[in-house]
């Protein structure tokens, strides 16, 4: 309808100038449609989701290396757990006296206890020893993996104690700060992860992290 005639038309409707009821064809008038806006996320909730704490950041680092090492330990067959590259007698190599796969895994677990227990104040497990190789009584694959997982559980408890106020404090008689101890456990574990994946490859096993999704 022409805009110049619209006021006259409206006036006629209001004053009853039309003698009979008006019938309007479909689509003559269109109501504006509005789309309701999505409800906004509360500011406090958004801040909680986007602001990780020091403890949660370190905990994620521990979870990452834990998965890598546990996956490798579970991938090695039981009958290969005592494998050492020394048994291959590779010409020109010098693997004499290196740790076996089992001892490598136990070493990571034992080291986790030594590194992270000062943060929680927990006592070391019995028979841990001073050589870093873990308890000699733990020999089977299942027992070694349990010892490994328990040591990472300690790591998560240690991470939960960290705050921005205490991260630069030295726990107990340690000369290292709490933050350094927490992250040193992660870097030490990654160092040995780099070794034990080679033990897998020496036995024809592709490390889990290097496998295709279909493997």
Q: Which of 100, 68, 23 lies closest to 191 in space, CA to CA?
A: 68
Task: For 27-40, write each residue's pLDDT tens digit.
Answer: 544 444 434 455 55
DSSP for residue 206: -
Task: For 164-203, write each residue's pLDDT tens digit.
Answer: 999 999 998 889 999 999 999 999 999 999 999 999 999 9
- What Rg do the C-alpha atoms of the chain give, in angstroms? 34
Residues counted in the chain: 215
Structural domains of the chain, ranges and CATH numbers in brackets: 52-207 (1.20.120.450)
Task: For 99-155, write each residue's pLDDT tens digit.
Answer: 999 999 999 999 999 999 999 999 999 899 888 999 999 999 999 999 999 999 999
**pLDDT class for 72, splitting at 50, 70, 90?**
very high
Q: CA dihedral defined by 207, 71, 81, 85, rounded to 10 degrees?
A: 30
């Amino acid at each position: 309808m022409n805009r110049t005639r619209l006021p006259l038309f409206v006036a006629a409707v209001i004053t009853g100038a039309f003698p009979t009821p008006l019938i309007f064809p479909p689509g003559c008038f269109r109501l504006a449609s509005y789309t309701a806006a999505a409800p906004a996320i509360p500011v406090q909730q958004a801040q909680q989701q986007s602001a990780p704490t020091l403890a949660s950041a370190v905990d994620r680092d521990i979870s990452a290396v834990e998965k890598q090492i546990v996956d490798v330990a579970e991938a090695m067959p039981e009958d290969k757990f005592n494998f050492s590259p020394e048994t291959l007698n590779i010409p020109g190599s010098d693997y004499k006296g290196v740790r076996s796969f089992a001892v490598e895994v136990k070493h990571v677990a034992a080291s986790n206890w030594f590194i992270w227990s000062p943060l929680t104040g927990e006592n070391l497990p019995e028979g841990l020893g001073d050589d870093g190789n873990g308890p000699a009584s733990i020999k089977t694959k299942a027992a070694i993996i349990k010892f490994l997982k328990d040591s990472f559980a300690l790591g998560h408890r240690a991470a939960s104690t960290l705050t921005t106020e205490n991260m630069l404090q030295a726990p107990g008689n340690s000369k290292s700060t709490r933050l350094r101890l927490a992250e040193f456990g992660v870097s030490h574990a990654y160092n040995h992860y780099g070794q034990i994946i080679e033990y897998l490859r020496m036995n024809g096993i592709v490390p889990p992290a290097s496998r295709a999704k279909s493997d």
